[in-house]
Amino acid sequence: MESSNENNKSFTYNAGLKEVKSSYILKKIFSNLNKKKEIYMIIYNKKFQNLLNISIDDYKNMRGIYKIGDKNGLGKEFLLDKDILIFEGEYLKNKRYGKGKEYNNGKLKFEGEYINGKRDGKGIEYNIYNDKIYSEFEGDYSNDKRCGKGREFNYMKELIFEGEYLDGIRNGKGNEYINGIKRFSGEYSKGEKIGKGKEYDEKSRLIYEGEYKNGKKNGFGKEYDEGILKFEGEYFNGIKNGEGREYYFDGVTKYIGDYFNGKRDGKGKEYNHNGELIFEGEYSNGEKIVYEF
């Protein structure tokens, strides 16, 4: 397994002895150098493991991963070229299995449970930028992806979402938050709002309830102002389109008619506070069309 240059390879055995250079010991320690250039350093005796101080500077030009620990039980993985810890935790049949932690450039990026080498079970994921955590996720994983219930947080550890996930993205029921206040409650599919949902203002007052599609208001919905109904009708791509009805603050009908691109457009009727008809005709871009003869 070792090349003719193996005598140039070295390691340090620091147990009150002098530095030892030995291709035989290297062959025992670096017991399996495979095609993927992964070095598995299997040390079966725990006492012996504590006495060893291993230097692999001569291997720094190779890319890959090396592992210290048993095939079953606790172990660690390092980047070969930089000696940087990338994982520590439990193994079964040489795969991550049980509890563990992942690291990126020395920073913790995930801690949780694994099955057959993949994230599976409960876990916490940290997204780091410029050495600072800018978002977090805690919840369920399956097959390396978010799957089940979970929660997302911003860099201030404020809750921004809680709900259900599938294949790593929001899917099912969920709630969105801004500054700790719930601003949306509804359903998601493939990461986007779909089906029925509700929106709230910064004082937790209802401002919209209705249907969504592709992440936007689509279908029938109702708008509120300070908790009072002010519009109900059809939406398309987030804005009023189709038939609708406006109300005064006391609940009296103000307008019934058509909308286009969020404005009155088409046929419509307008009423005063007493319920008396004051205009019937056509609108364009929100303005009444008055014909002069």
Q: If you write DSSP's letter for every residue of the chain in order, what string do you get?
A: ---TTGGG------SSS-----HHHHHHHEEEE-TT--EEE----HHHHHH-----GGGTTS-SEEEEE-SSEEEEEEETTTTEEEEEEEEETTEEEEEEEEEETTEEEEEEEEETTEEEEEEEEEEEETTEEEEEEEEEEETTEEEEEEEEEETT--EEEEEEEETTEEEEEEEEEETTEEEEEEEEETTEEEEEEEEE-TTS-EEEEEEEETTEEEEEEEEEETTEEEEEEEEETTEEEEEEEEE-TTS-EEEEEEEETTEEEEEEEEE-TTS-EEEEEEEETTEEE----
The pLDDT of residue 81 = 64
- How confident is the model at residue 290, as a pLDDT? 84
Q: Determine the pLDDT at residue 9.
A: 33
**pLDDT at position 1:** 36
pLDDT at 64: 66
Q: What is the pLDDT along the chain (293 residues), one digit of tens a residue?
A: 334 343 333 333 333 323 333 444 444 454 444 333 344 443 333 344 444 444 444 333 344 677 777 678 998 988 876 778 999 999 998 899 999 999 998 899 999 999 999 999 999 999 988 878 889 999 999 999 999 999 999 999 999 999 999 999 999 999 999 999 999 999 999 999 999 999 999 999 999 999 999 999 999 999 999 989 999 999 999 999 999 999 999 999 999 999 999 999 999 999 999 999 999 999 999 999 987 76
- What's residue 293's pLDDT? 66
